[in-house]
Amino acid sequence: MSLIVAARFTTFPTAEAAAQRLFNSGFADEDVTLFFVNPTGQHARYPIGGDTATDAGSIHAPKGAGKGVTIGAVVGAAIGVGIFTVFSAPVLVSVIAAGVGAYIGSLVGAMSHTRMGGKLGRRAEPDEGATRDSGVLLAVHVTQASQYDAGRILRDAGGMAVERATGRWQQGRWADFDPTRPPETIPELNEKHA
């Protein structure tokens, strides 16, 4: 495994300028690569697209469906009893009304908890730091001795989220880069410097 230091830039020209600073400091051409990282959810890890098998916002859907079934069945049964009383309809009407109410209630409950993430009135927010921001990533194949030099150059050139990783560096690029894995930033290189 190779030691890699990388940072995110907002544009290709700023990343290219940072790469030039690395070259001027003695880093080899085959040890520097830059590429664009798509926004979260747009990495096509599955045949129909997306990065994960399930949507994080759907975690609370079963709980919402359970609540909806209960409320819907009670409301449906009450409507069925009302119809039975007013129109002298068969008892079967009450049972069907309760079933329809339970079904509709489960749909409404599941959808409301999916859309709101289980918290009424609030949308589900992704976990902070759980994703990698999109942008131009400049990665440098480094040694133990040169990792902090590379990180400082990237930071001083405007790089954000300076990170350290281990991976396969092949033919001048980070061969096993995983855009769905959050970066492991280097705290001392990401603090605001004077």
Domains of the chain (ranges, CATH numbers): 2-48+129-190 (3.30.70.120), 60-116 (no CATH)
Q: What is the pLDDT of residue 129?
A: 46
Q: What tens digit of pLDDT does each residue of 94-106 get?
A: 788 888 888 998 8
Given a cut of 60, whether residue 124 has pLDDT beyond it is: no
Q: What is the pLDDT of residue 117?
A: 47
Q: What is the pLDDT of residue 127?
A: 47
Query: Helix 12-24 vs helix 147-156: angle between axes, to the nearest 10 degrees?
Result: 140
CA distance linking residue 190 with residue 194, whole number of Å: 12
Residue that the structure tokens 């830039």 belong to: 9
Greater confidence, 194 or 74?
74
CA distance linking residue 133 with residue 192, whole number of Å: 19
